[in-house]
Amino acid sequence: MRVKTLEFLEAHQSETPSKWREEAEWRRENASWLRHSQQIAVKVLLKMKELQLTQKALAERMNCTQQYVSKILKGKENLSLDTMTRLEEALEIRLVYPEVEVCV
């Protein structure tokens, strides 16, 4: 049985080495901002659903590419304040400190 299992694994091993360890270490090292990025992604997705807005339409509102919007929505993008502001303006929501009222 053991020989069969080893033969099966050898026959089906990947040509390229796995990067799971590097990816896990990266997630651990960046956990603090990833948590915020994921929370923002969820808020954006919910608002897009409410507005029936596509990634392409959001990208047009933000003056960026659809590919960049896709990266944001995956929750793995380290967002700048500029990007968060453009998201807020495009969706008319507050992402940062939503409980604070803005006085202008």
Q: What is the pLDDT of residue 60?
A: 98
How many Cα neighbours within 13 Å face the side chain of 9?
Answer: 6
* pLDDT above 60 for 103: no
d(C-alpha 85, C-alpha 82), whole Å? 5
Residue percentage of the chain with pLDDT more than 90: 71
d(C-alpha 44, C-alpha 7), whole Å? 48
| Phi, psi torsion values for 13, nearest 5 degrees | -70, 150
* pLDDT above 70 for 100: no
* pLDDT above 70 for 98: no
* pLDDT above 70 for 65: yes
**DSSP letters spanning 14-80:** -SSPP-HHHHHHHHHHTHHHHHHHHHHHHHHHHHHHHHT--HHHHHHHHTS-HHHHHHHHTT-----
| pLDDT per position as a tens digit, 17-40 | 888 999 999 999 999 999 999 999
